[in-house]
Homo-oligomer: A and B are copies of this chain.
Amino acid sequence: MTRGFLQELVNILFGYISKTSQRSTKVLDFHHPHQLKEGLEGFSLDLSDQPETLEQILVDCRDTLKYGVSTGHPRFFNQLSSGLDVIGVAGEWLTSTANTNMFTYEVSPVFILMEEVLLRKMQSIVGWSDEEGDGLFCPGGTISNLYSILVARYHFYPEVKTKGMGALPRLALFTSEHSHYSVKKSAAVLGLGSENVVVVKCDERGKMIPGELEISIITAQKKGLVPFYVNATAGTTVYGAFDPLCAIADICDKHTLWIAWSVTWNPHKMMGVPLQCSAILVRKRGLLQKCNELGAEYLFQRDKHYEVSYDTGDKSIQCGRHVDVFKFWLMWKAKVNKCLENAEYLYDQLQRRADFQLVFGHKPEHSNVCFWYIPPSLRGMPPGPERDSKLHQVAPRIKGRMMEKGSVLIGYQPLGTRVNFFRCVFSNPATQQEDIDFLLDEISCLGHDL
């Protein structure tokens, strides 16, 4: 039974994988929530009290894929977590079959050691010595960023673990206005308060201005806050900008603030590893353990018959922890993947076309390319509030039509004084130049009458 059922499921998945790579198929077959909830062609999300047959379970699986979004389609540009890497998929299939837990060496000997190997490799790429470095794989980049603030706070104020924030001065964090929202979110969760995250100004390209950081630090001190942590970004969310890391690090050294002592690295983004796969790297060995350990005796017994430093679970803010490392280890064994050429190609095409306008006139630093589509009705219009107000509505309307049609998927947003623009971020290994041409033609076709 088991084998026959699973082989049937695998055949469905093979069909999906093969279809996903075909440009002639839709990226999504869009339905509004109420339509999906009403049930489409017999596909019901409801749970009855009666068990279903295995045949029906297979039909459910087919329908689930049918009404989902093909994130591995060559024309899925919507966000970084995309692609359908075969080695990564194989890694996840094995991981879920092994169904174990990263909290102890006892139940995950191989995966615990793979985590150590990968973390060391990443730490050496970051530039830390063999005597430095610690880390963990975490459920997503926001949680990794939360860890970095958590260990920074503990490093300066170890009493916070037992006594709480009440025993500390009012702390301030610094991050650029273009940084990811996870810094503010983590500050709220950790009891630091989102208002105590000081947003530092960026230059036109989206990079933090070091002089502004220093002014912000001094201003915060004058207000009675105690600066302790600066987040710098290598590849901002929207523009893909790199903050000037060395200049920022010099300022942090001068004021004794946390910065290059931890790094968040998300292999599930540019490296195309299936979600979730994110690591927090911490330079000072032992800090994660001291910050988070509670020594639960039912898991982390000290009288085990093996070297218990491999029971890494007490470094974590989780108890059970999913195995996120294996697929990454396997992909690293198989190859490394590259996406920056696509960004350059898109930039070149946008420069050549009169119906598009680049947000930036220079070559992309990262895989992000930001641009507006300018419909014919706006092309002669002078810059100003009227044009901005109309242009602001173009991207959402094109996106709506795009989702209904299901031909391609890309994200958009406003930023600062800039009205809604498209943001293309390449991480999908299936994407080729013809897909980029298609994207621009399709946007133009869908937005021509606006």
Contact = CB atoms under 8 A, between A and B. Distances in A.
Given A68-B111, A274-B99, A317 B237 contact: no
Interface in A299-341: 299, 301, 303-307, 310, 317-322, 326, 329-330, 332-336
Nearest to A396: B303
Given A7-B10, A61-B90, A106 B165 contact: no
A101 interface: yes
B319 A141 contact: yes
Interface in A139-168: 139-143, 146, 150, 160-168
A196 B164 contact: yes
Given A161-B194, A411-B298, A57 B333 contact: yes
28 contacts: A2-B86, A3-B14, A6-B93, A9-B94, A17-B97, A33-B307, A52-B333, A57-B90, A57-B333, A61-B90, A61-B94, A64-B326, A68-B98, A68-B110, A79-B107, A81-B99, A89-B99, A92-B96, A107-B409, A146-B317, A163-B193, A163-B195, A164-B187, A165-B192, A166-B170, A181-B294, A185-B294, A191-B191
Most buried by B among A82, A90, A305, A400: A90
A114 to B, nearest CB: 6
Given A81-B320, A84-B97, A304-B400, 5 more contacts: A9-B94, A106-B403, A165-B165, A304-B396, A305-B396
Would you list the 8 A-B pairs with minimal beta carbon distance, nearest first? A191-B191, A164-B193, A305-B400, A92-B96, A165-B165, A139-B139, A165-B191, A298-B413
A260 interface: no
B71 A107 contact: yes
A97 B171 CA distance: 43
A379 to B, nearest CB: 23
Given A68-B100, A110-B64, A294-B185, A47 B275 contact: no
Most buried by B among A297, A310, A423: A297
Contacts of A9: 90, 93-94
B332 A47 contact: yes
Nearest to A35: B109
A67 B109 contact: yes
Interface residues of A, number: 155
A121 interface: yes
A45 B115 CA distance: 10
Given A191-B190, A274-B96, A399 B305 contact: yes
Contact of A412 (B92, B301, B397): B301
B188 A275 contact: no
Given A32-B307, A69-B108, A297-B415, A188 B161 contact: yes
A357 interface: no
A113 interface: yes
Interface in A361-417: 393, 396-397, 399-400, 403-404, 409, 411-415
Contacts of A99: 71-72, 81-84, 88-89, 274-275
Contact of A301 (B118, B274, B413): B413
A359 to B, nearest CB: 13
A182 interface: yes
Contacts of A31: 109
A229 interface: no
A207 interface: no
A24 interface: no
Contacts of A69: 100, 106-109
A60 interface: yes
A234 to B, nearest CB: 17
A113 B275 contact: no
B47 A333 contact: yes
A88 B100 CA distance: 13
A449 interface: no
A184 interface: yes
